Homo-oligomer: A and B are copies of this chain.
């Protein structure tokens, strides 16, 4: 095998209560990538379609992640990466995680899979850091492992796959405004009230329990964010109205996808998820603002060879 084509999906990080630790993988949204083995050593971005990302391998998250992998697993070959980028960078839908994970996944396959999917996360991190200025794996983990994931500890790369209740469906709205992850991170307060942190970790524990027990009511009660949402929601147009309309249309919960500007809702069943996405569209339609909407099952497989 000297070339491989993959689908590397988008993802939703944070998931309300789980800032920097929880994430889940999306289905319809994702980048297609082709990686070709080459006799010329080094990593090159051979082509970019769709959204524009750098061709300079020092500035592209895919090649930076690939370089990190090759540093530990040297190869006599080089690799040429072609990206069909359908996830807009800065959308909050895990655009950089998709490219970074995709690159290391594809090259690992071409090298005969010396690493498993979990081990690839640490290499994809190098790309993620380039994009956001901070190391975080809450998008990378679901892209590589599929389903819901929890990053227990980034330093020790302790990442857990979590179960996915079958009927959970995500509704996504991506308002096309520019919002840098680094800025969305910079506005967060460095300190939080202990009592708020306690409330948040109670919700994290309850949400994890709900995933194991398929308890949709508990999923709904625990999808709450009293720490990050109050700071970041003001960056997103019509946030409160979107949230109200989603919940009134039957969503179990609603929050910012990653650091925004995309927002997501989780619902029980596709019918409700479609109603929810329609209600959110109705809020944004009258505004002078482009936006995309998606209804997505939770992708339990993660990156796939196509």
Contacts and interface: CB of A to CB of B under 8 A. Distances in A.
B17 A206 contact: no
Q: How large is the interface on A (under 10, 10 to 19, 20 to 34, 35 or more residues)?
A: 35 or more
A290 interface: no
B193 A190 contact: yes
A189 interface: yes
Interface string A40-75: 000000000000000000000000000000000000
B194 A227 contact: yes
Nearest to A153: B202
B198 A21 contact: yes
Contacts of A247: none
A221 B189 contact: no
Given A21-B202, A194-B188, A198-B19, A158 B221 contact: yes
Contacts of A200: 197, 201
B199 A201 contact: no
A12 interface: no
A68 to B, nearest CB: 23
A19 B198 CA distance: 7
Contact of A209 (B197, B206, B208, B227): B208
A160 interface: yes
Interface string A101-138: 00000000000000000000000000000000000000
A193 B198 CA distance: 13
Q: How many copies does the complex hold?
A: 2
Contacts of A153: 199, 202, 221
Contact of A205 (B193, B199, B204): B204
A151 B151 CA distance: 22
A197 B206 CA distance: 16
Contacts of A156: 221
A87 to B, nearest CB: 25
- Interface-central residue, A160, A189, A201, by most chain B CB under 10 Å: A201
A232 to B, nearest CB: 13
A192 interface: yes
Contact of A202 (B152, B192, B209): B152
Given A150-B205, A158-B221, A205-B205, 13 more contacts: A18-B201, A19-B201, A20-B198, A21-B198, A151-B202, A160-B205, A190-B194, A191-B194, A197-B200, A197-B227, A201-B205, A205-B207, A209-B212
